[in-house]
Chains A and B, each alone.
Chain A
Amino acid sequence: MSSVGTPMLRKEDPKLLTGEGKYVDDIQVAGQLWMGMVRSPYAHATINSVDASAAAEAPGVHAVYTATDLLGMGLWIGPLPCAWPVTPDMVNPPHFPVADGEVHHVGEIVAVVLADDRYRAADAAELVVVDYEPLPVVASVADAVADASMVHSSLESNKAYHWPLIPDPDALEAAFANATHHVDASFVQQRMIPSAMEPRGVLAVPSPHGGDITLYSATQVPHILKVMVAATTGIPESKIRVIAPAVGGGFGAKLNVNPDELLAVTLANKLGRPVRWTETRSEAAFSTHQGRGQNQRIELAADGDGKLLGVRVHLDADMGAYMMLITPGVPLLGSFLYTGVYAVPAFGFTCDGWFTNLTPTDAYRGAGRPEASYAIERAMDILASKVGIGPDEIRRRNYLAGGEHFENLDVPSTLTFDSGHYGPSLDRALELAGYGDLRAEQQARRDGGSTKQLGIGMCTYVEICGLAPSRALGGLGYGAGGWEHATVRMLPTGKVEVVSGSTPHGQGHETSWSQIVADKLGVDPADVEVLHSDTAISPLGLDTYGSRSLAVGGVAIANACDKVVEKAKLIAAHSMEASADDMEFDGGMFSVAGSPDKAMAIQEIAFGAFTAHDLPDGMEPNLQEQTTWDPPNFAFPFGTHVAVVEIDEDTGNVELQNYIAVDDCGVQVNPMIVAGQVHGGIAQGVGQALWEGANYDEDGNCTNPSFMDYLVPSPTEMPNFTLDFTVTPSTSNPLGVKGVGEAGTIGSAAAVINAVCDGLSPYGVTDIEMPATPQRVWRAIQDGKGGAS
């Protein structure tokens, strides 16, 4: 019986449900010292002096290091890495774990305290006296573009790069010249605080005999981190072991190489003592990168029927104060998707990256793709109203391949979409929503003068998963490949050990990988043990982000299994004195074609491979194979989401009443896990649409860093979700899988804001900035009423 496709319960759960899951902060080691960070209260200032004397005298304090001390200790041979220089002339000011003479965002580290416990470390950090000379602050992208003052004193402009993707400029010009309808819309993608429930934390443990160091980190990327720690500290890679133990959510926020990680490693290495740090929630707004942060302008050119002729996009993207690991590349990950699911003859995209004196930005669930989907899907609604047709109709008229099934289709943004079938996802979503009835109820409320307006919004998204073909990444200037590695070994007892370079933090890899292996090898999923997230056990890997795990890491495992079966077949043929060509393999049993009575179990062969008493001549003992899978193309999941909101005219409150998602992530390994990923993704997109966003004052202070003010959705704000799926296998890999980790987020913000704007259309409201807070909605209603009267 096939395991793939069944909702197998998760292997991970018993541990996590009983408190046995060990997150970084749960690991206590003897002799550990706690780091306390002295952080800048200024967004931009010169550091005149640092007086650490009182802190050094404080009880329980082992040492205090100022930036001058630390930089003088020769701990780092290079700055924090940016792996994605998107243009040859991209500006990238040096970024060290501590500020050297000038701070560039609130919360930048200026000194470090080491103390016996977290309380004393925090106390002592308070006692460090820093004399700052404030400098002018660039507190927004608008400030940055004005270029009146510089984010770093060393800069001549705040612009970090200009990146164009205009495959055919003449065609684009012509499209707009010939357009009957022209949409010109601007949207703000506010900064998001990722807010994984487990705060980031690190623990660096030097080996007692010197030389080796183990870094435990709440990271999505232990393998990348290991390379980068080596490259920035000069500690040989072979001496560094990185372990990502249980990790409590990532969402992109744990896809980085952070100052704290490099401080912990180098100080532990220097002192020969374990060094640790765990961020507090309120600190996370400064110590962990943020997401989004883009000002978007999108223009659509369409003919009289609303058929798209061209799409032109410009982004001003907020980098924050420094380039972190993939900061500059995040907006570009979306660049290819601004034509969405539509047939668009001409396309042009430009992005300017701008420094600001704010926390650096980087990946957050979807990373560039939710922004793209938001812009095109909002703009399509605006086009629909210009043309005078419904939002469903404008989409149908423009879907690639007319909404029919397609494979390997070139789109104008230079990519080739693996497969798609957009029409049915819209049909099904509208059917599940009861679209006709909803429109009738909406009209009835309007006619009846109700103060509770109904809004219905939809979004058909497409995203890029399966990151990534290494060549494609090379073409984009990314500093690494996009492959994934897997080893599959059958143990003498017949159990299977799988080593994966993919690193889970809630996605249930152990379960899904077991299902794939169970089917491939014909074993019980319970007999499969998946090892991961420790560079000593899994030395090769490129980790987990961009919904890549299944489409890259899962495929690597499947391929390694195929190789195991190939070898086992040779052994089986040898044992059964048959030709390998005559061997059949089914349900874990090898048999000779035509004589089914003679059969050998794969476990038996594994034992034979281990004893090596009777292997074919020249064959190596043991049944173990490894593969590295480098996908030939990305995978492009898609789907249609429908949001139904009720807007209270008197308070401006938006209540999400119903949410329907019909997603297509290709072949599903574990539908239960797939649905869970969609649920969580939707909640994060809804959060961006309605409540979340990091607010900054003109001095560059984040005014809502804690969970008191930063409104992560709570259980009462979410409805139950209605989910369904279509299955359009990917042509990019032999499993036909696409990826689903970010889909929910990519579809939801646009669906919700389209619903809000739909509900507010009687007031003449055509757009509302995210988050659509009660204040903003109420204001828009008042303005609309005022404008109408």
Chain B
Amino acid sequence: MQSQQGNKFTIPIGPQHPALKEPEHFEFNVDGELVTGASVRLGYVHRGIEKGTENRSFVQSMYLLERVCGICSHVHATAFCLGVERLAEIEAPPRAQAIRVLVAELERIHSHMLWLGVGAHEAGFDTLFMYSWRDRETVLNLLEDITGNRINYSTNVLGGVKCDIDREQAAAIRQGLDFLEERTTHYLDVVTSDMMFLRRTRGVGVMTYDESQRLGAVGPTARASGVARDLRVDAAYAAYDKYPVNLVTETAGDLEARFVVRIKELFESFRVIRAVLDDLPEGDLTTRMPRRVKEGDTISRVEAPRGELFYYIKSNGTDTAERVKVRTPTLPNMASVLTLAVGHQLADMPMILVGIDPCFSCNDRMVSVKGTLDSQCWTWEQLRQYGIEYYR
């Protein structure tokens, strides 16, 4: 994005670095401790998932796409299911839609608490990290209880969901939420009043409203700069029209605001989950889903914990997708990191980077390979062969 010139002192962060849990390469030019330039190289964890869907049936693709992201796996499956269901002109029953919302919000809690811990760790506040992750176990246990898996829950099937919520589970969820709500209140207090922590977050990495619009930021990152945009509100999907979400925004645009927005969203999630449990429609969990999906294409957008998740799905009338395009929220947010980095201290880099809640393996959608073939279009077999040759 920005090239590095001359013989400046460059600090590389990644592809292997303790601050990054996934491989990605950043280069920060520094003058003493001051960062004067930043660049990024993406593409270390490209896995060919989009291409992979072209060789799998719709049913199988859903599970593949669920693995785009390990943390927000359910929203990927939901986005895909909603899109394919629209193409097939069916609609999942109301109970299924409500359970999709429920799991999505539980997942958001899991994701935001995970992020809170990572953010605290990058700032060097390991105690907050340990406690927030300890409490995150609660929501993981709830998800395990409902779906049977702790991550990659595979709640969805095309045309509905697999898991039901019975009375006992509902009670367990409520109990878990009560505990989490108490803890979240405490964490909100920590991030807004801990003097030493605020020294690392308040006024650091400020992104104004205009900047966030110009850089195309999405999700909580944009909402911390006052952008009132949330797909759950603006274009309610699944059952979000039945269980409305209140928009959470902050205006400061600094790291503190990003912490506050995400923590306040947790309270919204608690509220929505309780609303779902209070008013869970009766009925079937699935409708019949045809194996062959009618020809056509569609766009499916959902609000992932990190921001807007975009799916484009094209069907050619068989049981396999012609093309699936995924855009995860990290990609539009990446530009903000590079812009905000300049003028900050080197010590703030991990914080600013983590402030967008990056997920690099989600992000790495496309690589351009300079190969031996002239054609732009490669088959799965050729790609595989290329991969084997490349890593030999």
Do these two chains really belong together in a complex?
Answer: no
- A contact set with B: CB distance below 8 Å: none
